[in-house]
Structure 1
Amino acid sequence: MELRHLRYFVAVAEQQSFTRAAEKLFIAQPPLSRQIQQLEEELGVQLFERGSRPLKLTEAGQFFYGHAQQLLAKAADLKSMTQRISHVEQNLVAGFVASTLYGMLPRIIYSWRQQYPDIPITLHEMSTTEQISALKEGRIDVGFGRLRIEDSLVRRIILRTEKLVVALPPGHRLAGSVEALNLADVVDEPLIIFPNKPRPSFADQVLSIFADRSLKPERIIEVRELQIALGLVAAGEGISIVPNSLYGMLRNDIHFMPLNDPNAVSPIIMSMRQHDHSENLHKLLEIIYSLYDKAGIAYTRENV
């Protein structure tokens, strides 16, 4: 069985006609029919209901169709990823979620440019979900996000976990009332979460933290991005749960308070293609660990 057999089969299944599939594939119909017949003989099953108009898949054909689509998609991903690997030593393309800009990412990028001025690094803001697709399509080489998204073609390194804090409006009754807040203290407050799409996102991470503690926010306001959430907090529209790296922001219109919950954290995750062991990724990880050491940030060292 070869990939062309899968492509031919999928074309016939989707067009529900040998004639239309042959036109789409730019081949004559008799060779196409022979290829499908050979595939059925190799599998020992009938994939199409003969004589049906339009052409229909048998139960075995429907099963085979779903898996054929997955294999063709993985083959396409493999092609794009391999092509990207051939260029990765000349430059580095990174995706990032916006909230990581308030942490160590700017210093990481600056250090890269200082140490490797001959290897350009390009940045693209994108959600963690978008990063996974971009890695497989060869559009980026590494992603920095916060969600644990499983994909067999992508591997992840959890660089560190970051504590979450509560962003309160100025003059809020809870601001400065205690050294740290519990989630139960703010569950009745309007909760501003971000981003509202694509999902899943950091918003779902925050909601799951409440759910894990059997808490349900009284009212939820979904917004597009972090800065809008902070603007609404400053306007007194509600509170927001944000990464600790925002704690040091020079804003007098928002009061940040720590959470009295050691498990209320958000991971910083570095994602890359499963079998990409390029020198650039190794260099990037060494820069990250070096900066973490200097900043006294706890982490678990892993190799690319």
Structure 2
Amino acid sequence: MADLRQFRQFVAVAEELSFRRAAERLHMAQPPLTTAIRRLEEEVGASLLERDNRIHRLTPAGRAFLDEARRTLAQAERTLAAARSAASGRRTLRLAFVDSTINILLPRILQAFRQQHGALDFQLQEDTTAGQLEALREDRIDAGLIVLPVDCQPGLYTHLLVDGDMRVALPEGHRLERHARLRLEQLAGEPWLLFPRHYGPGMHDLIVAACAAAGFVPEVVQEARQMQTIAGLVAGGIGVALVPSLLQPLRPPGVTFRPLQGRRARIPYRLALAYRTPSELIERFRETAQAIAAAPAFRMA
């Protein structure tokens, strides 16, 4: 019967698509790794890798095995963490978050939750909305702070925390700075900064659709994953951008914010708590997060 060690070995080989690199990653020699994968295939009764002198891709059986192996390893880690937490009297919440929450909202939620509920360990990781949805499916996190909209997914729970909007971010001294509000069409012809679509398809599509409704396609000169990085590039004069209103209270130097006006001008920025497995711990976290997000500072965001 395959064990966790073999699962880890196969995951490394599948992710690296190279026995040499996988062996280096696992700190072991290559021949024993090759033998272990061959024995695993014999036990499964099917080839998991398409290979000759090198690995080309996973077979359908290999892709299925990889998905289940990742889930099994994640569950094993979760089981160990739960046992250790129970032994120490502490609980653990694996929480992911988008970068726009890190400077204001998330710290307040964490502080309030610890004050209210005492001993708790957070395993925190920053990730995109798309990355968090995948991590939830694979049981690598318990909950995530994601940006809506997302495609309907069976078994996914979402609770709205912040219902804000996107604001125009301009470099200080920009010719449009004199306007208190801007119409989206005024940004036609400007160099744009935007995040790659696969990091947040829902929000990316909202922005592109709003620009199309305003009669133009944004001329994207630079992509960046993090909203705070985009704000920094705006400050450097690289271009203009739409960023969450949640960033405005930070007042990043060199950046001027302006709200949008006009028909269908509002581009919503909706932050939600997402999870797949309800629990008492997640329910308490949701209550705390919604209470903090209901503060006037975030309702106005």
Structure 2 CA distance for partners of 1:213 and 1:280, relative to 1, 3 Å? farther
CA displacement 1:124-163 (0-9 Å, x = unmatched): 0011111122222222110011141433243222333211
Matched to 1:281, the amino acid is I
Q: Deviations over 1:258-299 (max 9, x none)?
A: 1115531121021101xx221111111111222234437559
Q: Distance in 2 between matches of 1:73 and 1:235?
A: 42
Closer/same/farther in 2, CA of residues 24 and 94 from structure 1, 3 Å limit: closer
Considering fraction of residues, name the structure with more strand: 2
Alignment length, in residue pairs?
242
TM-score (norm 1): 0.66
SS in 1 for 2:94: strand
TM-score by length of structure 2 reads 0.67
Q: Could you tell me which residue of structure 1 aligns to residue 158 of structure 2?
A: 156
Instruction: Give the whole-Å Cα distance in 2 for the aligned partners of 1:27 and 1:71.
Output: 12
List gaps (5 residues or longer) in structure 2.
1-36, 47-58
Paired letter, 2:171: P
Which structure features the higher share of helix residues?
2
Amino acid at match of 2:178: G
Aligned alpha-carbon RMSD (Å): 3.6
Aligned pairs for 1:129-278 within 5 A: 129-147=130-148, 148-177=150-179, 179-195=180-196, 198=199, 200=201, 202-260=203-261, 263-273=266-276, 276-278=277-279
Structure 1 residues 218 and 139, CA gap change in structure 2 (3 angstroms): closer
Q: How does 1:21-100 map to 2 (within 5 A)?
A: 24-27=40-43, 73=67, 77=71, 80=74, 84=78, 87=82, 90-100=91-101
**Preserved CA contact (<8 Å) 1:195 1:225:** no
Residue in structure 1 matched with residue 129 of structure 2 by the alignment: 128
Identity %: 27
Query: Any stretches of 5+ residues in structure 1 without a counterpart?
Result: 1-20, 34-64, 300-304
Q: Secondary structure at the match of 1:158?
A: strand
Do the aligned partners of 1:192 and 1:229 also contact (CA within 8 Å) in 2? yes
Other structure's SS at 1:171 match: coil
Q: Using the alignment, how far apart are the partners of 1:78 and 1:158 within structure 2? A: 30
Partner of 1:16: none
How far off is 1:167 after superposition?
0.7
The superposition leaves residues 164-217 of structure 1 with CA deviations (integer Å, 9 ceiling, x where unpaired) of 11111111111132x211111112211111257646375444223323544312
Contact 2:171 2:256 in 1 (8 A): yes
Deviations 1:192-244 (A, max 9, x none): 11257646375444223323544312444222433332222122221110001
Distance 1:92 1:71 in 2: 27
Letter in 1 for 2:194: I
Compared with structure 1, are the counterparts of its residues 250 and 75 closer, same or farther at alpha carbon in structure 2 (3 Å cutoff)? closer
Mark the CA change 1:294 to 1:162 in structure 2 (over 3 Å): closer, same or farther.
Answer: closer
Larger Rg: 1
